[in-house]
Structure 1
Amino acid sequence: MSSQSGDPTTGSADFFSPLADAPSTQEWASGQEQEEAAEQAATEPTMTSGAEQQPTEEAAAAVRFRPVSGRYRSSGGGFQLELRVDVDSTRSGSKVLRRVSGDFFTTSGGTTAYFGSFTVHSATVTWSATKVVVKGLGSYTWQAGAPVVQVTVPRRAVGQPPAAATVQFFTVSGQAGASYLCPYVSPYFRALTWEQDSVTGKIPFLSYNTGSLPQPPGSPARVLSVPGAYAEAGIQLLVSGAANVVADSPMGWNDSELHGAMQTNFSQWQNIPQWKVWLFVASAYEGLAGVRGIMFDAADSFQRQGCAVFYDLIKGADAASQRAQLRTYVHELGHSFNLLHSWQKNLARPPAPLGPKGGFGDLSWMNYPQNYQSPSGPTGTAAYWSDFPFQFTDNELIHLRHGFYRNVIMGANAFGIGAADIEPELFDEPLADESGLRLGLRGAKSGFAFGEPVVVELKLETTDLRGRSTHGHLHPDDELVNIAIRQPSGRTVLYRPLRLRCVDQDETVRLDTDRPAIYASAYIGYGRDGHYFQQPGTYQLRASYQASDGSRIVSPVLRVTVRHPVTATDSELAELMMGEEQGKLLVLRGSDSPSLRSGNEALQEVIERHANHPFAVYARLAKGLNAEHEFKSLKPNRAGLTVRAPDTKSAIEQLTPVVKASQQGKGVDNLTLNLATRRLARAYARQGDLEEAGTVLDHMVRHFDTSAFNPHVVEAVRAQADSTKAKLMADFGPA
């Protein structure tokens, strides 16, 4: 068998690396890791399985052994194996998962490439006074010829260098396959470099003493930093130098700006899979209240490399604020490792089991405190913190330590593992529904032209005359509403938002006779998997809303028709609108990012050559919204921040026809019209014309003040117009 192809489990004995059993200090770890391993060496692990054997009490008492768990790596040509052994505790509080896993790499000349991964989930562990043997059937990313794995690690006393692990593969009938000698590398199962930058005046989080506030009786008090929290999970965060400080803007940061900041300020950024991640401490998220953090790098082919936290919402030196900061930092970095929110794990590929209460009962960094549903006690934020032991769940630890390489490493598989088919049964109607809530889903239009942005409107209302309280996060980008799309081919996919914003601030709304419903409008034509409506035909859509009490409210099926193009102009416009960059621009509501230049050029061509076509409204909307606000760009090599000032002339030029066409029923949906009108008014106010700004808002109120709209909707629009006028006067009126 070639040393660079084939099956690494069935090779000959040539693959057994002829290294000494006790590698040198340089071969296995740094001096710091030696001291750490010696100081934290555990006593004999407690095992309960009948298949496991303990050494005699006399032997255990005579020698205090160092743990064998950790990371090992073979060397030499051909296949290289990085092995993770997880059978005893390497540090206080660290859970033991009783698994082994590994990643294979091929070497050719001076290059190394990933080959595949395996995990043994059900292992037999045998202990003796001289060695530990772990054996079990592995799960592989390829069809392994010798799938049974046996790992043998000689035992060493505390203070001695750790021994190398011998890995042997066998067929299911017991025939020997390949063998590898893997010297010890580290007590951590995985290691990555964490680079953190911040804006001026925003102090990054350092640490929190978990004993400062009440916590579960079984959770020991300790001082936890972000690297410390991941160290307890067996993951080493190597901090890359001091945090750099860059200029800030009072308007906050949007998704395009964050991605551009990563590309220019993340010193080790490359669009390749690598164990490196960037966290940006920004002031605020632009355009949406309540966003504490975001894993913004979910749009290209190399995702999960960058995330951000928003200081203005999580700041504070008191214990409660420090505790919340720790959770936000760990939570957003968790998304970079491809961890989903606790209630969304069944939507991953492959799907993972949900915890109690549909995932809302998880005591995890990845849950929202305000959503916590105790299986047997109080619910909500206070209950979460009284129960939370500052740990990941076991399933999350399995992913972090033993997930297949491309599913975990930054820049490899897309968040949620890409465009996975989902089981339509996930969106079946519940057998019983006593939630007191009803979810509606309808298209912004009865049908869409091919290439036209598909927008849906969601409505959540109460069916209980006494009223119901729940959260107000109705937009699918907030990750508490999911939309399934049955395509004309019969394939069912999940709409996956382009951005993963964590709106984990409590937003409770009361639905009753005074306010019977809340609404949201969402462009769902483009997401992390690209364009979802790529062919003409009939689509079936269904939405699912996760209520505050854990109830799952499912909408009726919505049928959406995408019409065939009729003329050559129709086909040309569809091509101009359906590019990947154009989809991103429509989601982001415009951008100055150089990486989206061709998309902006295509939208400009729609405006210039097809100004009277209905598609021009959408191109003008993206251009106008982007022009109306500033755009921040970090200069290369940390040379400072460039801020493009709002272009009010261009914003008015683009948004005025959007508003007029929409008020005539020939443009965007009513919720988007509301947004465009308020932004148009702000553009007028910026250039000093507060009178025209007020006129624009008055026209909006008159448009909605008809019998076509429910009275509570009209009142909400009027109140929003009044508050916008007051804000514009405060920001742009006379001093």
Structure 2
Amino acid sequence: MSAPSDPTLGTSASPPGVVVLGHPLREEDVRPDGRVLEQRPEAGGPRQEVQWQLTRGRYGSAGQDCRIELRVDVDGARPQHRVSADFFSVSGSTTSYFGSVIVHLPAVTVTAEEVVIEGTGNFTFTAGAPVVRVSIPRRTALQPQADATVRFSAASGEPGAAYTCAFVSPYFRSVLLEQDSVTGTVPFVSYDTGALPQPPGSRARELTVVRAYAEAGIELQMSGVSDVIDTAGSGADLLWDDAELHNAMVRHFSAHHNVPQWKVWMLVASAHTGGYRGIMFDYGDACQRQGAAVFYNAVKGDGPQALRAQLRTYVHEIGHAFNLLHSWQKHLAVPPQPLGPNGGLADLSWMNYVQNYRPVSGAGGEAAYWAAFPFQFTDSELVHLRHGHYRDVIMGANPFGTGGAEIAPELFDEPVEDRSGLALGLRATKEAFAFGEPVVVELKLCTTDLRGRSTHGHLHPDTDFTHIAITQPSGRTVLYRPMLRHCVDETAMIRLDGENPAIYRSAYIGHGSDGHYFQQPGEYRVRAQYLASDGSRVVSPVCVIRVRYPVTQDDQQVAELLLGEESGKLLSLLGSDSPCLASGNDALREVIERYGEHPLAVYARMAQGINAEREFKDLTADKELKIRQPDTKESIQQLTMVADASAKGAGVDNITLNMVMRRLARAQARQGDLEQATGTIDRMVHTFEAKHLRPSVLDQIRQQAERAKAVLAAEAGERPAERKR
């Protein structure tokens, strides 16, 4: 049989409300454990306590051409008063996803015999019979759960399809969690919420990550194998960077099929090069949200404060795998979701940052968050977890942020009133970019208040506190979404005043989780928004970015090589050894070897040179940790050419050049030439002095140079010089 074109085909909805035996159900009639007090008509006596099976959980149908998975959520703990379902078409021995439906706030009628739930559904497809009626016979706690019957009908009342669904689970969704760890880390086990003060009315209980999600109605099933990855004898620095994490995830999940599936992988690693607590790092391919990591060194400890922080970090990162955004970002989802109080910063949620908590009234911050946090998701997050459309929730389907990157331009409009005392600047690092050239912008945050202002220093868009909107030549406005996002769950406060008037960051925004954003010549309008520590949303002026048309055949050929999807990922990651990016590395090498004199070759050299400078951890599909040691000779050769071209104004921007020259110096020191390394740092200072930068910026560069030389000298004293390659 072929699958139906409309699975709803084969009453107008009652007003919302609940009726028991013909009488309204009072709030005091329902106990927290699901027991209901009823007046039995035949007895006419006192109200009696009857414990009924909850009208809640997951049901599934069988079928030759179509089956559905039904979720009923009108009873039990924190009911969200929704019914939802996913439709699957069956053809022979294969089953494919067809579409989804949610019924928001349906009418619920409870009689002595059954519970009936009715309402008009919101479908992902055009439904010929959009009215949904679910009926479930009532059963006492001593009886088995009854089947649910789902009937669809047209608004006129004409009947459509009907399905009988057997009870499957009290959980709305079930996900397999596989957790691995590296030697020296201790994975989180549990936290007693009563070990530290908690909100009045929040019961004390022993929470694991599994139990935290169970309270949300989601079943996390731990896989039978949890491997400890041995690092002994590897010479590893135990610091993981974005490229290594991306490679570890891709290599591991290749054995589990890179397709939509209810599976997520968690790596408990030692530390990230950026010092982060955790990261959901799977953003850069067609099957996103399958991999996350927690960094033990940033959350370790066995005291109650440390265990509490570990629990929040684990639940938070896995929440991203379910496609939950940070509390202050929900309006950037597709479609946009409403923000909670105070722009989302007042949310008492796993998905907020503790230091970001800003209640509508009273003091905020970490202490206030923990004093009020009941260890749960918000109602809107529960609706997503339990009832979000299949592809918006299942790992490996729709991208992070749901659906796509297109946003409404008015989300970045200037505020009607701005008393933040902060100003955000955005400028292109070049007057015009060549076709295919990586587009880099510079962000500047300064104060407009003579008294100075304090805020956090997370200005880079990879940290989710700064967002960038790009209006393309076609008129379409998209949100730049980095290939990897970093959960910077620490305060990192800075003071902007006369002595430190501004901070700067450069960001490569040419490629992200949606691919390349500047794929055609023309004029682009770019705008940024920064979320300050007090919740203020500071918007930059519009920055116009021009992408030139290619002039020569070489221009066209180099652009095509750099605009490849894997080349874009390598530029985002600053290089990688990952076998899945082999064709991208081939393209970058072709740019260097065949078009080495072309101005855009510096970008290929930068990615290859930085990757060669570091050791690279490769966690294979067999979970064996292999270390590729730095190739200092290759790194010095490539980065020297980048630095020389950029010093002459024909290469990378100033902030990137600063990073390149420090990485070059580190490669020289690792090769055993500390004198040459310190000379490179001194040359970096002279290069920027010749560019006549602002005195405050030059002072920061000089201080940075002295710190870099001290670190290189300390590292040189700790290890013997490496043999030149």
Q: Structures share a fold, TM > 0.5?
A: yes
Cα contact 1:55–1:128 (8 A) shared by 2: no
Aligned equivalent of 1:22: none
CA-based RMSD? 1.9
Cα contact 1:621–1:676 (8 A) shared by 2: yes
Cα deviation per residue 1:327-364 (whole Å; 9 max; x = unaligned)? 11001000100111111111111110011111111111
Aligned equivalent of 2:240: 253
Are residues 274 and 727 of structure 1, via their aligned partners in 2, closer, same or farther at CA, if it must alter by over 3 Å? same
Residue in structure 2 matching 1:177, options 139, 160, 183: 160
1:209 aligns with 2:201: no
CA shift for structure 1 position 459: 0.3
Residues 319-338 of structure 1 aligned to structure 2 (within 5 Å):
319-338=304-323
In 1, distance between residues paired with 2:514 and 2:447?
33
Residues 212-291 of structure 1 aligned to structure 2 (within 5 Å):
212-248=195-231, 249-266=236-253, 269-286=256-273, 288-289=274-275, 291=276
Are residues 58 and 573 of structure 1, via their aligned partners in 2, closer, same or farther at CA, if it must alter by over 3 Å? farther
CA shift for structure 1 position 455: 0.3
Letter in 2 for 1:725: K
In 2, distance between residues paired with 1:350 and 1:722?
48
Aligned equivalent of 2:137: 154
In 2, distance between residues paired with 1:590 and 1:81?
44
Cα contact 2:405–2:480 (8 A) shared by 1: no
Cα deviation per residue 1:64-116 (whole Å; 9 max; x = unaligned)? 21112010001131110110000110xxxx31111100011111111111111
Aligned equivalent of 1:130: 113
Cα deviation per residue 1:238-277 (whole Å; 9 max; x = unaligned)? 1101421003432411223223323444596211111111
> Between Structure 1 and Structure 2, how many residues are aligned?
694
Cα contact 2:340–2:347 (8 A) shared by 1: yes
Residue in structure 2 matching 1:372, options 333, 357, 374: 357
CA shift for structure 1 position 212: 1.1
Structure 1 unaligned segments of length 5 or more: list them: 12-38, 47-52
Residue in structure 1 matching 2:172, options 166, 175, 189: 189
Letter in 2 for 1:260: N
Aligned equivalent of 1:679: 663
Aligned equivalent of 2:487: 502
Are residues 438 and 465 of structure 1, via their aligned partners in 2, closer, same or farther at CA, if it must alter by over 3 Å? same
Residue in structure 2 matching 1:421, options 401, 406, 412: 406
In 2, distance between residues paired with 1:56 and 1:502?
60
In 2, distance between residues paired with 1:632 and 1:535?
36
Q: Secondary structure at the match of 1:417?
A: coil
Cα contact 1:441–1:456 (8 A) shared by 2: yes
In 2, distance between residues paired with 1:55 and 1:278?
56
Residue in structure 2 matching 1:523, options 503, 508, 525: 508
Are residues 265 and 63 of structure 1, via their aligned partners in 2, closer, same or farther at CA, if it must alter by over 3 Å? same
Residue in structure 2 matching 1:106, options 89, 103, 107: 89
Q: Secondary structure at the match of 1:447?
A: coil
Q: Which TM-score applies when normalising by structure 2?
A: 0.93
Q: Secondary structure at the match of 2:433?
A: strand
Q: Secondary structure at the match of 1:445?
A: coil
In 1, distance between residues paired with 2:602 and 2:43?
79
Letter in 2 for 1:178: A
Cα deviation per residue 1:283-311 (whole Å; 9 max; x = unaligned)? 1112x23x111111110001111111111
CA shift for structure 1 position 733: 2.4
CA shift for structure 1 position 62: 5.4
Aligned equivalent of 1:43: 35
Q: Secondary structure at the match of 1:625?
A: helix
CA shift for structure 1 position 416: 1.0
Residue in structure 2 matching 1:643, options 610, 614, 627: 627
CA shift for structure 1 position 58: 6.4
Cα deviation per residue 1:316-337 (whole Å; 9 max; x = unaligned)? 1111111111111001000100
1:6 aligns with 2:5: yes
Are residues 175 and 439 of structure 1, via their aligned partners in 2, closer, same or farther at CA, if it must alter by over 3 Å? same
Structure 2 unaligned segments of length 5 or more: list them: 11-30, 720-725
In 2, distance between residues paired with 1:283 and 1:601?
31
Cα deviation per residue 1:649-696 (whole Å; 9 max; x = unaligned)? 000000001111111111111110110011000001101110001000
In 2, distance between residues paired with 1:514 and 1:686?
36
Cα deviation per residue 1:174-227 (whole Å; 9 max; x = unaligned)? 121111111101100000111000000101001111111111112111111001
Aligned equivalent of 1:24: none
Cα deviation per residue 1:624-644 (whole Å; 9 max; x = unaligned)? 000000111123323x21100
In 1, distance between residues paired with 2:228 and 2:127?
49
Residue in structure 2 matching 1:85, options 72, 78, 87: 72
CA shift for structure 1 position 122: 1.9
| % same residue | 60
Cα deviation per residue 1:3-44 (whole Å; 9 max; x = unaligned)? 512111111xxxxxxxxxxxxxxxxxxxxxxxxxxx995212
In 1, distance between residues paired with 2:404 and 2:44?
54
In 2, distance between residues paired with 1:687 and 1:732?
10
Are residues 62 and 721 of structure 1, via their aligned partners in 2, closer, same or farther at CA, if it must alter by over 3 Å? closer
Q: Which TM-score applies when normalising by structure 1?
A: 0.92
Q: Secondary structure at the match of 1:82?
A: strand
Cα contact 1:130–1:155 (8 A) shared by 2: yes
Cα contact 1:122–1:137 (8 A) shared by 2: no
